[in-house]
Each structure stands twice: as C-alpha cells, then as structure tokens.
Structure 1
Amino acid sequence: MQTKKTYTVEEATRKLEHYCAYQERCHQEVQQKLEGMHMIPEAIDVIIVHLLEHNFLNEERFAKTFVRGKFKFKAWGRRRLTFELKKKDISKVNINQALTEVPEEVYVDTFNDLAEKKANSITENNIYKKKKKFIDYFLYRGWESHLVYTKANELIK
C-alpha cells in the first residue's frame, strides 16, 4: 500500500515559495498545487496569504508576464489572451492592464508580418479555401475578426 506524502504548513510553504520563484504563477495554479499536496483548506489559505505578503504571488505581475510571453512566442491575439487569462480567474482589471503591455503598433506590425507569411505558406489553389484556412488560422489564435477579414481580402485574391 502506498501512503500519500504529508506536509507540514512550513514544508508546504517552502515548497510553494520555490514553485512560485521558479516561474510566475496565478492563484488558481497555486491552489491546485496545494490541493494536490492534500493540504486542508485552512492551511491553503495560510500559505496563499504568506505567498501574497512576501510577493511570491502577484496576479498583476502574472498577467503581464503571461501576455508578453504568449504574444511573443505563440503570437496570440488579444481575444485569445483575454480568454486564457479569464480561464485562470484573473480579474478584468488585471487583464486590461496586462494587454497594455503590447503597444498597438507592435501588435499590428506583428499581425501584418504573420499574415504575409501565412498567406504565402498556404498552398491551396482554390481562393475560397485558401481564405478559409487563413481566416481560421488567425481567429483560432485570437486575432480580432475585423483585422483578419480585412487582411484576408487584401492578401488573397
């Protein structure tokens, strides 16, 4: 029979400090980690308060880091970024503040560069199918529909 590892509040606190120091975390991830460690709700509250007080856990910082990273490496648009942050229970205020991390001109330039590359990489001969592939690609990644449709009509003729 396998027994579950149990942790004292101090051990769990140290473990979660390392967990949060390694990478920015949201409250939901920390909560799930603690529940996975089989901590009781009172201990979870004590540990989360400790992490907040000692700045290991900061929702605003997490949201900003998340937006910068996903925009830079995965080229997600604002709609997808907002959706993913909402899934992590990040407040609307922090989401809006995080979205300001990407300047408008950088956002549009990135979209235009990606659109040119994608339009050139689609090998479909049928114009309508090519447009559909182009549009689906960008809508899935959360780019605004008005940008996507305008660019599709401009690039694919």
Structure 2
Amino acid sequence: MQSKKTYTVQEATKKLEHYCAYQERCHQEVRKKLVSMSMIPEAIDMIIVHLLDQNFLNESRYAKAFVRGKFRIKHWGRHRLISELKQKDISKFNITQALAEIDDDEYLTVLSELSEKRANLIKEDNTYKKRKKFIDYFLYRGWESHLVYEKAHEFIA
C-alpha cells in the first residue's frame, strides 16, 4: 500500500507560495489544496495567514482577474460571473468591485457582436425554436434577460 506524502509546515508553505504565484487563487482553492495535502486545521490557518501577509493571496485581486478573464475570453454575462464568484465564497464587496471593472459600453458591444454571430450560426427554420435556442444560449452564459430578449427580437425576426 502506498502512503500519502506528508509535508512539514515549511514545505507546505513553500509549495503553496508557488501555487499562488503561478495563478491567482481564492481562499477556498488554497484551503482545498491544503486539505488534500493532509494538513491539520491549525497549520492550514497558519499558512493562509502567511500567504495573506506576503500578498500571495488576495481575494480582491482574484475577483478582478476572474471577472476580466471570464468576460473577455469566455464572454460570460454579469449573472454568471456573480454566481461563480459566490460559489467560491468571495465577499459581496469584492464581487461588486470586480464587476465595476467591466465597462458598460464594452459589455453591450460584446453582447451585440456575440448576438450577431450566434443568430447566424443557429440553423433552424422555425423562428420560435431559433429564438428559443438563441435565448437559452445567452441566459446560460449569464447575460441579463432583458438584454437577451431585446437582442433576440433584433436579430431573429
């Protein structure tokens, strides 16, 4: 039987410093990583405090990076971004700050461009089915329903 590798607090701290330096992480991800390394709760708290003190871990910075990335790359809407951040136990204050990074004009421009592309991609003869597919696509990605319905009527007659 293979035994799981054990870590000292110093080894785990170094490992988590690299883990956080590689990519922005939230508190929940770091805690899960430490639990998977079989660290005791006191050590977990000690390591997290160290990471916060040394600025390896910053919830506000994480939320902003998450929102920028998911909006620009995956084109998620505000509702999806909010729910994903809430699942990661990010505070309401940090979520609000992160969403403020999205420019309203850019948000609407991205929706218009995506709407046009999506309307042309859907191969459906029935107008109602086509509109439903269009609407479902954008609602799943977290775009506001009033904007989605507006675009559906604009692009699918």
Normalising by the smaller structure, the TM-score range is over 0.9
- Following superposition, the deviation at residue 57 of structure 1 comes to 0.1
Residue 66 of structure 1 is matched in structure 2 by 66
Q: How far, CA to CA, are the matches of 1:121 and 1:6 in structure 2?
A: 52
**2:101 maps to 1:101:** yes
- Following superposition, the deviation at residue 154 of structure 1 comes to 1.3
**2:43 maps to 1:43:** yes
TM-score, normalisation: structure 2: 0.99
- Following superposition, the deviation at residue 153 of structure 1 comes to 0.9
Q: How far, CA to CA, are the matches of 1:150 and 1:113 in structure 2?
A: 14
Matches within 5 A, 1:84-95: 84-95=84-95
The alignment covers a number of residue pairs equal to: 157
Q: How far, CA to CA, are the matches of 1:142 and 1:6 in structure 2?
A: 42
1:46 partner amino acid: M
Dislocated runs of 4+, deviation >2 Å: none
Matches within 5 A, 1:1-157: 1-157=1-157
TM-score, normalisation: structure 1: 0.99
Gaps of 5+ in 2: none
After superposition, give the CA deviation of every residue in 1:15-50 in whole Å (9 maximum; x if it has no partner): 000000000000000000000000000000000000
After superposition, give the CA deviation of every residue in 1:100-151 in whole Å (9 maximum; x if it has no partner): 1110000000000000110111110000000000000000000000000011
Q: How far, CA to CA, are the matches of 1:96 and 1:131 in structure 2?
A: 31
